[in-house]
Amino acid sequence: MVPAQLLQGILHGTPMAQRRAMAKAITLLESTRADHRAQGDALLTALLPHTGKALRLGISGVPGVGKSTFIEALGLYLVGQGLRVAVLAIDPSSSVSGGSILGDKTRMEQLSMHESAYIRPSPSGGTLGGVAEKTRESLLVCEAAGYDVVIVETVGVGQSETAVHGMTDMFCVLQLPNAGDDLQAIKKGVMELADLVVINKADIDPHAATRAQAQITSSLRLLGFHGNPDRDPHDGQQWQPQVLQISALQHQGMDAFWDAVQRYRQLQTANGRLALRRERQALAWMWERIDSGLKQAFRAHPRVQALLPSLQHDVAAGRIAAGTAARNLLAAQSGQAQAAID
């Protein structure tokens, strides 16, 4: 399909045609070919007026916390409420082979078969922050297709899953009972950015879940008092992070979770912080793409390509410092190459 056909399919296609057009559009956006990038940019520009109406929900948590089970339970609850749900599931890419299993769709078997749900697994491709490089573009495709809720699931490998916070309206962190809760809650990174903390598998040990809820609530309140201007605990017009208990496997707590999400959205819309958050995200996205483009242009520069093999060899052999080699390559790109290496 050409971009015009993809645009028509996404905006006005039948359910099956729309899903096919969405899949092809996201594949086009993920391509690294120059002609595909140009087509993808044109498609995004055409889709942009139709975006912005969906709720963007980020889900993170350590492996084994039950992210996929939770998303399926939540998705089934939402489609039961008459909403359309899209899930962008990011799988880690192997640092050895570069491959990715992309198995999230198989773990959401019931949701994946529902006509009101769309699930797209994507490899992280080595991108840091728990999301794929083109997750933001994929999110816009889902919004333009008319989905009411777009859920972004991170790879969930530790405390660095913060990039999803920069592309969603609400950032939710899943935790386990009896998993170093009080220490986890004061670690920098994920927890201090969380808008909602969800303790999953609460049915296994209700007492441990209750203790974890109290500990994390106390720690989040402490973080709000120190150094976060967006989390003033004395301002009743601002959202204060909350901690909930659920059991995704038993489908318990989905209504309470969605109620909290709705209250968050209403409050942040009323005080203008949701619109401000999206504005900041759009600008950060622009600068991120500039950084990526500059790096690609640097690698493709003829002078850099000419010097790179010998400099890499000298750095590996210990004849030149890595910092010196880097500065020479940067100087070569700017046309000021120094004859520092014979």
CATH number, position 34? 1.20.5
What pLDDT shows up at residue 65? Answer: 87
Could you write out the DSSP letters of every residue in 202-233?
A: TTT-HHHHHHHHHHHHHHHHHHHHSS-TT--T
Instruction: Tell me the DSSP string of 306-317.
Output: HHHHHHHHHHHH
Q: Are residues 55 and 164 in the same domain?
A: yes
Q: Between the CA atoms of 284, 333, 95 and 69, what dihedral angle is there, to the nearest 10 degrees?
A: 10
Full residue range of the structural domain in which residue 7 is found: 1-48
Longest Cα pair distance anywhere in the chain, in angstroms?
Answer: 71
Residues 65 and 176 in one domain: yes
Residue 329 placed within a domain: no
Residues 12 and 63 grouped into a single domain: no
Residues 6+ apart with CB under 8 A from 118: 19, 22, 84, 85, 86, 87, 142, 145, 147
CATH number, domain containing residue 86: 3.40.50.300
Q: How far is CA 118 from CA 11, 60, 63, 89, 145, in A?
A: 15, 19, 23, 11, 10
Residue 95: per-residue pLDDT? 47
Which residue among 232, 256, 271 closes a domain?
271
Do 34 and 6 reside in the same domain of the chain? yes
110 & 225 share domain: yes
Q: Report yes or no on 337 lying in a domain.
A: no
Are residues 213 and 191 located together in one domain of the fold? yes
> Does 278 reside within a domain?
no
Same domain, yes or no: 84 and 179: yes
- Which element (helix H / strand E) includes 151? strand 149-153
Tell me, yes or no, whether 172 and 205 share the same domain: yes
State the pTM of this model. Answer: 0.85
- Asked whether residue 160 falls in the same domain as residue 13, the answer is no
Q: What are phi and psi of 264, to 5 degrees?
A: -60, -45
User: Does 93 fall in a domain?
Assistant: yes
Q: What is the pLDDT along the chain (342 residues), one digit of tens a residue?
A: 678 899 999 999 999 999 999 999 999 988 888 899 899 999 999 999 999 999 999 998 888 888 989 999 999 999 999 999 999 988 765 544 555 555 666 778 889 889 999 999 877 654 544 455 788 899 999 999 999 999 998 876 554 456 788 889 999 999 888 765 455 545 546 777 889 999 999 999 999 999 888 888 888 777 665 556 666 666 667 888 899 999 999 999 999 999 999 999 999 999 999 999 999 999 988 888 898 888 888 988 999 999 999 999 999 999 999 999 999 999 988 875 444 444
Q: Based on the fold, state whether residues 103 and 177 are members of the same structural domain.
A: yes
Residue 192 maps to a domain: yes
Per-residue model confidence (pLDDT) at position 53: 93
Which parts of 229-301 fold into alpha helices (H)?
A: 254-270, 273-300
Number of domains the chain contains: 2
The reply to whether 14 and 137 lie within a common domain is no
